[in-house]
Every structure is written in structure tokens, then in C-alpha cells.
């Protein structure tokens, strides 16, 4: 049995939730028209990755600049409880296509203004299967995002495949990977803000470790695509190093097979839909000699405990 995957390496309409969701829907339409069963979008694509802290002195405490940009970012984050992803879920159901979408989430259960880098899985029937909040933001991301929880460490059946996903550098964390392996994952989705330096090594490494397909999907962002409507847009543009040729993130989307070899080598510098066909038989062949959660595991010696409760500040009893 094979599955056709679309890797949507696109740029957001930066920090604009509604315009970016419209762009995501159009890419899903194109992917479905090409017969894709699954389409994947990069980390934090809706409404965009927080590129400004390292360009504008983001660590300066009580900065009016940082407050202005953060307030704009929060206003364009996605509130799942308010149904701000319902239209995209309806699109998935109409097209009969599964999606992994990286977004910035805000939740009234956590005060409404703390933000999470969340990876959402939408099933082909339009139901939201999981929303995984990134466990630990990386470096300057911690100035903008809050740590997540284990609620979204879940896998989903898609044809004969069992698919799961993680955000960016949490793909380097052995135990979250093991949590997905232990649920039967054999198609791993890794989403990134972009850049080949992030995806080139770890995509093949995880594939070899897990004996699974690994699909890494990155976003793109260039100086010229920063909208004037973003607060302090000129200041952000001025902070971009001249040697970067204006690129903030340049892609790097790729696919590795369960033997660790490339199915699709890293793609950079271009907005495009890339496609890959994956076969469950290839997984079975590589699991013959190594299955990390199966015959090559020793649960009598080492086991992993996972807390999948959604973190809340308050629990009410009426």
C-alpha cells in the first residue's frame, strides 16, 4: 500500500492569520488535485514564525517595540476553541485529505495571551485529531512562546500508515520520539520554520533510528515579504544581515525513507508543492532487523512514562 504526501513549502502572509489560512487552503486544494492523501505545512506557519526577537533586541525588558509586535502576533494567533480552524477542517473534509499544520495557538484556558507553537493534525473527515503544543521553545522562541504539554503526543491511522509529528528542535528530543514510536508510528512528520541546516542531518537520522519514513517540511521567509502593516516592519528589515541576501528562512523540505536514504533531497529557495510516494512494504523490510519499539526493545529494563494531560491553571468543581 502506498500513500502520496504533499510537502507545502510556502511562506505565510506574515503575521496575518486569515490571509495565511486562505493560502493554506489553496495549497490543500492543489495537493488534493494531484491525488495527495496528506499535505504538510511548516512550523508556526499560521500566522508565521517569530523572526523579530533576534533582529530587534528582543531580550530588552519592558520594551515598547517588543510589546507592540507581541500584541499584533497574539491578535493573529489561532484560538481553536473559538473555531478559528473550522473552515480549514471543512476544507479537509470536502477534499478528503489529511493535513498537518503548524500554527500559533492562544487559549482562554491559559489566560488567552500566552502563545504556543502547535502542530495540528486534521483527519480526512475534517476532525481535528490532535493539537501538539511544542514541549520546549528553542532559544529566542522562549521570549515569545510558552512551553507546551504532552497532550498532543498522539499518532493517527492514515491508510496502512501510523503517522505522528513533532515541532522543529523537539525532534532532537529522544523521549518524545520514543513516545511516538511506542504508539506504532511509521511515518514521522517534522515541521520547521525553514533552512536546510535544520533538516539535512536529522531527517535521515530519525529515519534510520525509527526505520520509518520521515517527512520534514519547512516554511520560507524573505525580507521582501514582510508586510508594512506589521508593527516596526522597517526596524525588523533593518536587522536582517546583508550577507543573507534577504533570506530569513529558505526552506529545506525533504523526505527520507526507512533505510535513511533520500526520497526527496532538501529543497531550498522556492515556494512549491513537492510530492513523495511512500510504501508500507519498505517499512516492513527495514523493521526486519531493527524495530525500536518492537523486537529490539526491552520494556522489562527501560520504559517511558508519558503525561498526556492538557495543562490548565484552574480546575473547577461545581
Active site residue 67: no
Domains of the chain: 2-287 (3.60.110.10)
pLDDT of residue 231: 98
Catalytic residue among 89, 141, 168, 286: 168
pLDDT of residue 178: 98
pLDDT of residue 233: 98
User: Each residue's pLDDT tens digit in the chain (318 positions)?
Assistant: 799 999 999 999 999 999 999 999 999 999 999 999 999 999 999 999 999 999 999 999 999 999 999 999 999 999 999 999 999 999 999 999 999 999 999 999 999 999 999 999 999 999 999 999 999 999 999 999 999 999 999 999 999 999 999 999 999 999 999 999 999 999 999 999 999 999 999 999 999 999 999 999 999 999 999 999 999 999 999 999 999 999 999 999 999 999 999 999 999 999 999 999 999 999 999 999 999 999 999 999 999 999 999 998 888 899
Catalytic residue among 43, 141, 170, 209: 43
Total-model pTM: 0.96
Whole-angstrom Cα distance, residue 12 to residue 45?
A: 6
pLDDT of residue 228: 97
- Helix, strand, coil percentages in the chain from 3-state DSSP, rounded to 5: 30, 30, 40
Residue 94: how many other CB atoms lie within 10 Å? 12
Catalytic residue among 105, 134, 141, 254: 134
Residue 133: how many other CB atoms lie within 10 Å? 23
Unique residue bearing C-alpha cell 537520522:
205
Active site residue 134: yes
Active site residue 305: no
Amino acid at each position: 500500500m502506498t500513500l502520496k504526501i504533499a510537502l507545502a513549502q510556502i511562506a505565510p502572509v506574515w503575521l496575518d492569520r486569515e490571509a495565511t489560512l486562505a493560502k493554506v487552503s489553496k495549497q490543500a486544494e492543489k495537493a488534493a488535485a494531484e491525488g495527495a492523501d496528506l499535505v504538510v505545512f511548516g512550523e508556526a506557519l499560521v500566522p508565521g514564525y517569530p523572526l523579530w526577537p533576534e533582529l530587534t533586541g528582543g531580550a530588552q525588558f519592558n520594551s515598547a517595540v517588543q510589546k507592540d509586535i507581541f500584541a499584533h502576533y497574539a491578535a493573529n494567533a489561532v484560538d481553536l476553541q473559538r473555531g478559528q480552524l473550522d473552515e480549514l477542517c471543512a476544507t479537509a473534509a470536502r477534499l478528503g485529505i489529511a493535513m498537518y499544520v503548524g500554527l500559533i495557538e492562544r487559549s482562554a484556558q491559559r489566560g488567552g495571551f500566552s502563545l504556543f507553537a502547535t502542530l495540528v493534525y486534521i483527519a480526512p473527515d475534517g476532525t481535528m485529531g490532535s493539537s501538539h503544543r511544542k514541549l520546549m521553545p528553542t532559544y529566542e522562541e522562549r521570549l515569545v512562546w510558552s512551553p507546551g504539554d504532552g497532550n498532543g503526543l498522539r499518532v493517527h491511522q492514515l491508510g496502512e500508515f501510523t503517522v505522528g509529528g513533532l515541532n522543529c528542535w523537539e525532534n532532537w528530543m529522544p523521549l518524545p520520539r520514543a513516545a511516538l514510536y511506542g504508539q506504532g508510528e511509521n511515518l514521522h512528520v517534522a515541521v520547521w520554520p525553514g533552512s536546510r541546516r535544520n533538516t539535512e542531518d536529522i531527517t535521515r537520522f530519525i529515519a534510520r533510528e525509527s526505520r520509518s519514513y520521515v517527512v520534514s517540511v519547512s516554511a520560507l521567509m524573505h525580507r521582501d515579504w514582510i508586510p508594512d502593516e506589521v508593527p516596526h516592519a522597517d526596524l525588523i528589515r533593518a536587522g536582517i544581515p546583508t550577507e543573507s541576501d534577504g533570506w530569513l528562512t529558505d526552506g529545506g523540505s525533504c523526505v527520507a525513507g526507512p533505510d535513511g536514504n533520500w526520497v526527496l533531497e532538501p529543497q531550498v529557495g522556492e515556494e512549491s508543492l513537492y510530492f513523495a510516494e511512500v510504501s508500507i512494504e519498505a517499512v516492513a523490510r527495514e523493521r526486519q532487523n531493527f524495530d525500536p519499539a518492537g523486537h529490539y526493545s526491552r520494556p522489562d529494563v527501560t520504559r517511558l512514562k508519558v503525561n498526556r494531560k492538557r495543562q490548565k491553571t484552574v480546575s473547577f468543581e461545581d
